[in-house]
Chains A and B, each alone.
Chain A
Amino acid sequence: MIFDDFDPKENKIFRIIDNEGIIINSELMPAIDDDTTLKAYKAMLFARTADDMAVSYQRQGRMYTYPPNSGQEAISVAAGLIMRDEDWLVPAFREMGAWLAKGVSLKEVFLYYMGNEEGSNFKKANHALPFSVPIGTQLLHAAGIGYAINYLKKDEVVFAFIGDGGTSEGDFAEALNFAAVWKAPVIFTVQNNQYAISVPVRNQTKSINIAIKSYAYGIPGIKVDGNDFFAMFAAYKQAHEYCKAGNGPVLIEALTYRKGAHTTSDDPTKYRSKEEEQEWEKADPLLKMKYFIDKKGIWKENEKQLLEKYKDEVEQQFSEAENFLPYKLDDVFDNMYVDKPDDLKKQKADYEKFLKWKETTK
């Protein structure tokens, strides 16, 4: 198992390709055909395009606060390729590629960030939980889903995500412990993007890495280059097999870098240097992958045209979200309860009376 070869105690990191796209660990290169490689790159490119456009829509005032994913695409896309329809996605809020792979539409993502709960009502995505804003809380849900999978004797695996900052929350410790005790089939991924808003990971934990925390729970852990699609793919493939075989959870630390701001409300120049950003630019997951693809000579498309096509598609989805049904008073009340208390009906009726008064006094 790859996990055994990269002991977090020795602070080893699992990589397949370097920043120039050269294979540095051919033994562990996963069996992956050219079509899948291209599919992965395109998925990353699409996610990047959608993300960049989301930031600009927000800047234009057409969407509210948005947390950019840029720089973290390899992790989500690799997970997305391994995740089956029956597997579960328990996201934090920076897993665009995984949502799309699950069948969440961009329209839904945009709707959510336009401030409409309908954006969390995924029409096509099966076993995909909505965005989780309170940090780390979602990991416990993953452990619980894992218990249910075992109890119901289902062949399913949970892909759960959290950031480096979230590992400080008590829920992180509880979730890993519960999942381990229950042998729940959960792949916990920590997207270590170096910052929890402004706080660098070195001030978040004194562990030599995050993967080493797996030791405390008696589960396998590995630190992977999260900007290396092939390494992430190989790690997920093994983790998936390990979980399916009933061995319990694993912890994957995906080392990456949040290229953008924490959210569109944040200004990273306050807490990190241009030099640092430029250094990480060299390890951009799309860049690395493209170098690899170019060296292999398998790229046959016009990238400019492809990008235009992607932009059109994103624009189309955004437009659908923008033209979504207007938000109604009913939307505030309708899903508060399965069995709606009478008093809520009265509160709605009272408000309608006020609206009527407002109309007549205009």
Chain B
Amino acid sequence: MSVMTLVQAINNALDIKLAEDKNVIVFGEDVGLEGGVFRVTEGLQKKYGVERVFDSPLAESGIVGTGLGMAIAGLRPVVELQFDGFTYPAFDQIISHVSRMHNRTKGKYKVPMVIRFPYGGGINALEHHSESPEALYAHIPGIKVVIPSTPHDAKGLMISAIESDDPIIFMEPKRIYRAIKQEVADEKFSIPIGKAKVLIEGTDVTVVAYGAMIRECQKALVMTKEAGISVELIDLRTIYPIDKETLTTSIKKTGRIVIVAEAPSSFSVGAEIMAIANEEAFLHLEAPPKRVMGFDTIVPLAKGEHFFMQTPEKIFYEIERTVKF
């Protein structure tokens, strides 16, 4: 076991897979010599050479498009896009080809590629550096979307992502890149994609979150405990394929569901979970499902970001209202 941050845990997963499989290739802007702007790939170029860990020219569509080419030709590329808000030039490649190649060729060409990028707000960043586009990607048939919330999960999920024969969008909550330290096993282990995790069992209300919002929910749970509310906290861990079974079981048990996320709430992952609650557990609901999510606005720049971000107080406020409904 070693104490790791999320950054170190992902680096460790990449290290293990690079050592184990010579077809794993890591590239993107500044990922080589510099080790990435957040240092997620630090030291890997030195260890595995410039043919396997390298800086690409500055072009996101180029990174993902060439990654697809490598993947169908037998490699396992793990590409980095530098920030959430810089992924969109690659959107065309993702929606037009990465997601479709396997189905288009009736399985002849697989796309075992991981597209990883830091996402989310709360770090007082410039415009385009605080976004949560998971719903945009989860909405694309043919793509799987994974979001870890701890160093342990980040490592296990990254190992699974690299070993997956399907293309994976791996979104890393940059706000907690270094904020959480945790004992993580040094050896290789994997966490299955598509499985949520019940972090805390409870009986009054199900709270579902992912990424950096898990930590905010845990803070809110101090308040719910004081208020005598029993919360069942679920870490989604995979956005798509969404773990309907875990969600449904919990909602049926508690009868109430609150979804916490940073993204704008309309047409979101939160909306999808509400649909699941309605479709799978309608007769068990004792209160309307509630989204504690961003406004349907652009993420404000740093001075206004606090209005947009979900805080423990806000999460508690909505949980309490849902329970008292």
Contacts and interface: CB of A to CB of B under 8 A. Distances in A.
Interface of A: 64-65, 112, 114-117, 133-135, 137, 165-166, 168-171, 196-199, 203-205, 265-266, 270-271, 327, 329, 331-333, 336, 341, 343-344, 347-348, 351, 354, 357-358
B104 interface: no
29 contacts: A64-B126, A65-B124, A114-B302, A115-B301, A115-B303, A115-B305, A117-B301, A133-B127, A134-B85, A134-B86, A134-B89, A135-B58, A135-B86, A165-B58, A168-B58, A168-B59, A168-B62, A169-B58, A169-B60, A198-B33, A198-B55, A199-B30, A205-B57, A332-B295, A332-B307, A333-B295, A333-B297, A348-B295, A351-B295
Contacts of A135: 58, 86
B296 interface: yes
Contact of A197 (B29, B266, B295): B29
Nearest to A357: B317
Contacts of A166: 58
A270 B39 CA distance: 11
B124 A332 contact: no
Interface of B: 29-30, 33-34, 37, 55, 57-62, 85-86, 88-89, 124-129, 266, 295-298, 300-305, 307-308, 313-314, 317
Contacts of A115: 124, 301-305
B297 A336 contact: yes
Given A199-B29, A333-B295, A134 B59 contact: no
A241 to B, nearest CB: 32
Given A115-B124, A198-B34, A270-B34, A327 B62 contact: no
Given A116-B303, A169-B58, A265 B85 contact: no
B58 A196 contact: yes
A332 B297 contact: yes
Contacts of B305: 115
Contact of B317 (A331, A341, A354): A354
Given A116-B301, A133-B85, A133-B128, A354 B58 contact: no
Contacts of A347: 295-296
B262 to A, nearest CB: 14
B263 to A, nearest CB: 14
B298 A336 contact: yes
A114 B317 contact: no
B162 to A, nearest CB: 24
A203 B295 contact: no
A169 B89 contact: yes
A65 B301 CA distance: 12
A327 B34 CA distance: 36
B304 A270 contact: no
A204 B58 contact: yes
A331 B55 contact: no
